[in-house]
């Protein structure tokens, strides 16, 4: 049994981070939390590959994120599609921006939402500076990225591409119920026992 870290006065004891990770892997659950960056991607991808190598039982991915670095989010999405284990995704709190494609890495029947989760679609943004030609190249890349994201969302939800493009032109927030209607998730759940 892992030892608890010594708490400071007035605080509850906590498990060391390695013990938490070990327990999460033991229940075949990956937490994608906070801003998506290379470190979050590396951790989630490593855990997915370890769990997939152990056996091909379902892997649950709990997502609560405001989004972040697009390529890091795509890396998580692609690896969750790449592994052989079935992936079950659950939105919790908020699933925004590049966190949405991570949610969509599971088949539609395996995408769930907790009741109070909010979802955000919007177009990618980026700051570009330097020479005019560099700014133009950056703008072209953002447009390509936007088209790719919109197509992914349309394909995964069954929503028409022109609607996704229109909706994501500005911040487009959805409640869990609206995300269900949009096709982001297949079911709103209150308990783990409701996952098929």
Which fold would CATH assign to domain 17-188? 2-enoyl-CoA Hydratase; Chain A, domain 1 (3.90.226)
CA distances for 195 relative to 108, 134, 156, angstroms: 13, 48, 19
pLDDT tens-place string over residues 125-161: 655 556 777 667 767 877 888 999 999 999 999 999 9
97 is catalytic: yes
Catalytic: which of 65, 97, 113, 168? 97
122 is catalytic: yes
pLDDT tens-place string over residues 17-68: 778 888 999 999 999 999 999 999 999 999 999 999 999 999 999 999 999 9
What is the reported pTM? 0.86
At 1 the pLDDT is: 41
Q: Which residues pair with 31 in a beta bridge?
A: 62
Q: Answer yes or no: are the C-beta atoms of 2 and 22 closer than 8 Å.
A: yes
**DSSP states along 123-190:** -------SSHHHHHHHHHHHHHHHHHHHHHHHHHH---HHHHHHHTTS-EEE-HHHHHHHTS-SEE-S
**Integer Cα distance of 186 and 48 in angstroms:** 22
């Amino acid at each position: 049994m892992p030892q608890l870290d010594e708490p400071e006065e007035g605080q509850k004891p906590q498990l060391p981070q390695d013990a938490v990770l070990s327990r999460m892997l033991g229940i075949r659950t990956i937490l994608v939390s906070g801003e998506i960056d290379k470190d979050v991607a590396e951790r989630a991808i490593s855990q997915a590959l370890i769990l997939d190598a152990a056996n091909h039982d379902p892997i649950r991915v709990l997502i609560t994120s405001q989004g972040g670095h697009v390529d890091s989010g795509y890396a998580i999405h692609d690896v969750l599609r790449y592994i052989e284990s079935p992936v079950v995704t659950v939105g919790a709190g908020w699933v925004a921006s590049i966190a949405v494609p991570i949610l969509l890495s599971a088949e539609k029947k395996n995408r769930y939402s907790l009741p109070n989760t909010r979802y955000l679609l919007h177009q990618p943004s980026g700051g570009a500076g330097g020479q005019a030609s560099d700014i133009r190249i950056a703008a072209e890349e953002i447009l390509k990225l936007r088209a790719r994201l919109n197509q992914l969302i349309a394909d995964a939800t069954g929503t028409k591409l022109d609607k996704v493009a229109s909706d994501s032109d500005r911040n487009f927030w959805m409640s869990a119920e609206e995300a269900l209607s949009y096709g982001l998730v297949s079911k709103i759940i209150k308990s783990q026992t409701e996952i098929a």
